[in-house]
Structure 1
Amino acid sequence: MTHQDQISRRGRLAWADGLWTHPPARAVEDGSDLLVEAAEGSDAWRHTAYGFIHDSEHALLAPFAVGSAMEVTFTADLAEQFDQAGIFIRVDSETWIKAGLERSDGLLQLGAVVTFGRSDWSVASVDGWDGRKVTVRLSRTADALIVRAGLSGAPQQLVRVIPFDGDQQAGAGPFTCAPTRAGLLVRFHSWIITDADASLH
């Protein structure tokens, strides 16, 4: 499969279509699912507030073109501080975004970290989503990324609109991190490319 074939097609991606930014402790196919065990200490962050750079996330990336949307559906028991899973888009080590669920200060949070040299972080509590099947959707337009998420089969809510240069080549796909512990398991159910959302509202 050529690079152009992969970014132009629509439908379900095979797990083998992606490349890991950093291999997880374990990744095994279980039927149509991918079961991923995060390595202890894995994370993605640059500078802001904490003063460190972490570049060890487990993100399975395939080319992500303007005009398309990527959806990742997963189930996870995010029980420990900073356990996280969702979707990741990366241009380079200083330009990337992660969006999805993260356990923070005892609450399950839905949010995004946007990194252009330095990271920011936005969250909102979704404690009722714990242990349930969740879909995170990322649409790419000529100048923006639109992040939406929701329980699988339910209407999705807008999470964030992010300025993003359409000329940049980027990869995107499922990700997980476990900054504070070993043994986090995330079950990814599907990885789909569709057409980008036609509008914000």
Structure 2
Amino acid sequence: ISDDKLIMHVTPKSDYWRISHYGFTVDDAPFYYSEYGGEFEAKVKISGDYKVRFDQAGMMIRIDHENYIKTGIEFVDGKYNLSTVVTHHTSDWSVIALDKPVNVIWIKAVRRLDAVEIFYSFDDNTYYMMRNAWLEANRPVRIGMFAACPDGDGFDVTFSDFKVTHLPDKVRTEWLRNNAE
């Protein structure tokens, strides 16, 4: 960690995945996190030296080994994809194929009640929604940066500008507004 950046050499043969499609479970890739409760917005900038199939880097929101969301960029069959895996006992995988390689990507997640909205941006100004996923409400989560290299010998990734901002409590805000003198 230096100058607001986390530079990570990703552990070879590592990933997060549970059961579905491939029939195996792995839960061993690097994950640098803090724990948060309530509603929040989290954002991170990612750039990596992706080399082989399934090299990936992004943000993870995790309750435990059976309940998590990992989202970011993933290198699959020579192409870059925006990728989200949602796991509730078993994993699913959604992708948005990119037309060309990108040097950096910003990922933003907004947790409200039992939903997490996931967005991406190429410039940190215009964000596009890529997924809305269920995650149990009123449970603290570990949120942070992860990377995985299921098939390769590792690669380097840089995370920067990671920030988590708690969202105001809507009920409390409304009460204060209605009771202000």
Q: TM-score range by the shorter chain?
A: 0.7 to 0.9
Question: Which has the higher Rg, Structure 1 or Structure 2?
Answer: 2
1:157 aligns with 2:116: no
Q: Deviations over 1:112-171 (max 9, x none)?
A: 0000000000001124343x1211011110120010011133411101001122122211
Distance 1:188 1:161 in 2: 23
* Contact preservation (8 Å) 1:129, 1:151: no
- 4+ runs deviating over 6 angstroms: none
Could you tell me which residue of structure 2 aligns to residue 102 of structure 1?
Answer: 74
1:176 aligns with 2:147: yes
Deviation of 1:194 after TM superposition, in Å, equals: 2.3
Q: Deviations over 1:65-112 (max 9, x none)?
A: 222111111111223100000100111111111001001122111020
1:166 aligns with 2:137: yes
Could you tell me which residue of structure 1 aligns to residue 46 of structure 2?
Answer: 74
Unpaired runs of 5+ residues, structure 1, are: 1-28
114, 123, 126: which one aligns with 2:95: 123
Cα distance 1:80–1:154, how it changes in 2: closer, same or farther (>3 A)? Answer: farther
* Contact preservation (8 Å) 1:78, 1:108: no
* Contact preservation (8 Å) 1:74, 1:188: yes
34, 39, 59: which one aligns with 1:87: 59
Unpaired runs of 5+ residues, structure 2, are: 169-181
Percent identity reads 28
Q: What is the count of residue pairs matched by the alignment?
A: 168
Distance 1:140 1:72 in 2: 15
Could you tell me which residue of structure 1 aligns to residue 13 of structure 2?
Answer: 41
What root-mean-square deviation, in Å, do the aligned CA atoms of Structure 1 and Structure 2 show?
1.6
* Contact preservation (8 Å) 1:89, 1:172: yes
Distance 1:59 1:109 in 2: 20
* Contact preservation (8 Å) 2:79, 2:100: no
1:112 aligns with 2:95: no
Could you tell me which residue of structure 1 aligns to residue 117 of structure 2?
Answer: 146
Structure 2 residue identity aligned to 1:51: G
Question: Which stretch of structure 1 is more off in the superposition, 66-75 or 46-55?
Answer: 66-75
Distance 2:120 2:167 in 1: 14
Question: Which stretch of structure 1 is more off in the superposition, 57-66 or 41-50?
Answer: 57-66
